[in-house]
Amino acid sequence: MKLQSIEAARGVAALMVVAFHAERALSLPQYVGHMPLGGAMAFMHTGVDFFFVLSGYIIFAVHRADIGRPAALGYTAIEAAGGPACRCCGRMPASTCW
């Protein structure tokens, strides 16, 4: 499933966050020393929320067929993690990953 328009919106959201942080960084004394655009980028922090909402929708859209199928969770969480990487910081025995 390809969600190009939603993926493009995620890109816009990421750029919003970059613009917000760039304006904040430029306002430091060693750079410009004041808000270069008069604080016009102050609302761009909402890009984080927008990005996570869109990411959640993409995850749901891709995996909605897996809802109610516990076997699908096993593949997603363990096998997709690549073996030993699924050990959850050493709390699970390595034998559960193979």
Q: What is the 3-state secondary structure (H, E, C) of 38-93?
A: CCCCHHHHHHHHHHHHHHHHHHHHHHHHHCCCHHHHHHHHHHCCCHHHHHCCCCCC
Per-residue pLDDT tens digits of the chain, which is 98 residues long: 677 898 899 999 999 989 888 888 888 888 888 877 777 787 888 888 998 999 888 888 888 887 777 766 665 555 555 555 545 555 555 555 54
Among 18, 35, 16, residue whose Cα is nearest residue 26: 35
Tens of pLDDT, residue by residue over 18-32, are 988 888 888 888 888
pTM of the model: 0.59
